[in-house]
């Protein structure tokens, strides 16, 4: 059982490391750079679940870019295979006109009915907002339609549903979207699902944020925990030597344990960071990591100091000193061998605390980069709980808990070994 806990903890950490390493390859960095740019996300569906919910019996149209089945200057033809229980929220057609000539967008249903949705030179058209055409479509297909239906994601209901024997049912099959007069064009289906982890209330890709945040969170956790342990070790060894230096170092480590951590970081980080043009605080990691490590190293230093002082009072140390051994030599040659395994234990003990602190500080947007704490802030600011947007809550919550649990498993194993003397 002991070995299983250790293996499981190490396996979880390895998986997180792999995800953090390959995250830049899986995520388009442009999405993160434009995270606060509303115009970048305007064509995405707002607050929709991930596409894989359809595996569990849902029948929701996914968001997708259609590839043209016919593509030449002046004519592009796209086909959309509709087989869902709800219509897509919108169909966005973008095009480059040809010498100012008007562009025509026509949609043909599986039953062969053709509707001209647009003719003009605007460069972009959202079919769900072509109310005049949709009212004509609704009248011809016996479907009720009101302009406000677009706001409730039902704007294209008349196009994809039909009245048969008094019952409004979806018309499944291939819908053909024809763009005439454009040099080139694109068609985006704005569905009711999106990507791996859905979208937030602004249409932003939650999956991209999750993967990118994993990289930032893992790096910050490791750096902060390692720096805190190194500072604590150096301080603990220095304090045990006594003298003026030892007294000063011991006083600093005591100070570190009594400073209120979160209020200090919230007050300190904005003073050392810079403000972006979107009113965000940019904090360099080289400031954040030492500052947080300083506030954490005190307890480690005191524990290390207690171990060192206990060892220095043993008989073999007194015997070595009577033979002329220098105390620094004793520390280097004998004490560090005892302290070494304890440092790994301290690292596994402090890592979960660092994970929690970085998440909290990221929640207040006073942690470097884009981390899982930033996503926790999104959950609260966008009322994800009340909106039942589980895809914004469950993945980030589980990821943080499992990451911390991995270090807890390793810590328990090390603790059992220390207690058993193994």
Of the chain, the percentage scoring pLDDT greater than 90 comes to: 43
At residue 90 the predicted structure's pLDDT band, cuts being 50, 70 and 90, is very high
Class of domain 54-190: mainly beta
What digits encode the pLDDT tens for the residues 12-27? 999 999 999 998 888 9
Determine the pLDDT at residue 395: 92
pLDDT above 60: residue 38: yes
Tell me how far apart the alpha carbons of residues 107 and 179 are, in angstroms, rounded to a whole number. Answer: 9
At residue 188 the predicted structure's pLDDT band, cuts being 50, 70 and 90, is very high
Right CATH number for 6-23+201-420 from 3.90.850.10, 1.10.10.10, 1.10.3720.10, 3.40.190.80? 1.10.3720.10
At residue 1 the predicted structure's pLDDT band, cuts being 50, 70 and 90, is low
Checking 102-105 for CB contacts under 8 A at 24+ apart, the result is: 102/181, 103/179, 103/180, 103/181, 103/182, 103/185, 104/178, 104/179, 104/180, 104/181, 105/177, 105/178, 105/179
DSSP one-letter code for 199: B
Of the chain, the percentage scoring pLDDT greater than 70 comes to: 95
Give me the DSSP letters along 168-234. Answer: EEE--EEEEEEEESEEEEEEEEE-SB-TTT-B-TT--BHHHHHHHHHHHHHHHHHHHHHHHHHHHHH
Determine the pLDDT at residue 247: 84
At residue 312 the predicted structure's pLDDT band, cuts being 50, 70 and 90, is confident
**Under 8 Å between Cβ of 12 and 403:** yes
What digits encode the pLDDT tens for the residues 106-127? 999 999 999 999 998 888 999 9
Determine the pLDDT at residue 35: 87
DSSP one-letter code for 55: G
Cβ-proximal residues to 270 (8 Å cutoff; 6+ apart), any chain: 281, 366
Which range among 204-218, 234-248, 261-275, 340-354 shows the weakest confidence by mean pLDDT? 261-275
Q: Where are the domains of the chain?
A: 6-23+201-420, 54-190
417 or 245: whose pLDDT is higher?
245
Determine the pLDDT at residue 390: 93
Determine the pLDDT at residue 205: 95
pLDDT above 60: residue 276: yes
Tell me how far apart the alpha carbons of residues 214 and 196 are, in angstroms, rounded to a whole number. Answer: 15
At residue 148 the predicted structure's pLDDT band, cuts being 50, 70 and 90, is confident
pLDDT above 80: residue 323: no
Determine the pLDDT at residue 317: 76
What digits encode the pLDDT tens for the residues 367-402? 887 888 888 888 888 888 888 899 999 999 999 999
pLDDT above 70: residue 105: yes
| Mean pLDDT over the full length of the chain | 87
Q: What is the mean pLDDT of residues 297-305?
A: 87
Determine the pLDDT at residue 420: 65
- Pairing between β-strand 161-164 and β-strand 167-170 as defined by DSSP bridges: antiparallel
pLDDT above 80: residue 92: yes
Which range among 241-255, 274-288, 370-384 shows the weakest confidence by mean pLDDT? 274-288
Determine the pLDDT at residue 106: 96
Q: What is the mean pLDDT of residues 89-117?
A: 90
Tell me how far apart the alpha carbons of residues 23 and 253 are, in angstroms, rounded to a whole number. Answer: 37
At residue 280 the predicted structure's pLDDT band, cuts being 50, 70 and 90, is low
Determine the pLDDT at residue 347: 86
């Amino acid at each position: 059982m002991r070995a299983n806990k250790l293996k499981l903890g190490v396996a979880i950490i390895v998986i997180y490391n792999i995800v953090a390493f390959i995250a830049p390859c899986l995520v388009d960095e442009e999405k993160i750079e434009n995270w606060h740019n509303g115009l970048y996300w305007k064509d995405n569906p707002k607050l929709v679940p991930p596409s894989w919910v359809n595996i569990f019996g849902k029948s929701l149209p996914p968001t997708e870019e259609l590839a043209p089945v016919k593509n030449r200057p002046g004519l592009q033809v796209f086909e959309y295979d509709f087989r869902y229980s709800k219509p897509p929220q919108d169909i966005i057609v973008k095009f480059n006109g040809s010498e100012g000539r008007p562009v025509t967008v026509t949609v043909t249903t599986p039953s062969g009915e053709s509707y001209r949705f647009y003719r003009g030179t605007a460069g972009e058209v959202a079919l769900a907002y072509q109310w005049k055409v949709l009212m004509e479509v609704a009248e011809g297909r016996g479907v009720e339609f009101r302009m406000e239906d677009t706001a409730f994601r039902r704007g294209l209901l008349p196009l994809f549903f039909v009245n048969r024997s008094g019952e409004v049912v979806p018309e499944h099959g291939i819908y053909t979207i024809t763009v005439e007069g454009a040099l080139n064009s694109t068609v985006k289906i704005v569905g009711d699902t999106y990507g791996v982890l859905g979208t937030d209330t602004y249409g932003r890709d939650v999956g991209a944020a999750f993967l990118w945040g994993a990289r930032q969170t893992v790096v910050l956790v490791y750096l902060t925990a390692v720096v805190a342990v190194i500072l604590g070790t150096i301080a603990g060894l220095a304090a045990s030597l006594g003298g003026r230096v030892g007294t000063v170092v011991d006083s600093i480590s005591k100070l570190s344990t009594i400073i209120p951590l979160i209020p200090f970081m919230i007050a300190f980080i904005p003073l050392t960071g810079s403000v972006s043009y979107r009113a965000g605080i940019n904090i360099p990691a080289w400031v954040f990591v030492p500052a947080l490590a300083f506030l954490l190293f005190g307890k480690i230093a005191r524990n290390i100091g207690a171990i060192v002082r206990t060892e220095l009072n043993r008989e073999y140390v007194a015997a070595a000193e009577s033979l002329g051994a220098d105390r620094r030599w004793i520390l280097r040659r004998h004490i560090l061998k005892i302290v070494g395994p304890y440092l790994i234990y301290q690292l596994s003990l402090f890592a979960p605390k660092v994970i929690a602190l970085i998440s909290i500080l990221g929640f207040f947007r006073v942690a470097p980069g884009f981390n899982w704490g930033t996503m926790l802030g999104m959950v609260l600011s966008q009322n994800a709980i009340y909106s039942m947007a589980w895809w914004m809550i469950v993945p980030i919550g589980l990821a943080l808990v499992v990451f911390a649990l991995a270090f807890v498993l390793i810590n328990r194993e090390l603790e059992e070994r220390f207690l058993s003397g193994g």
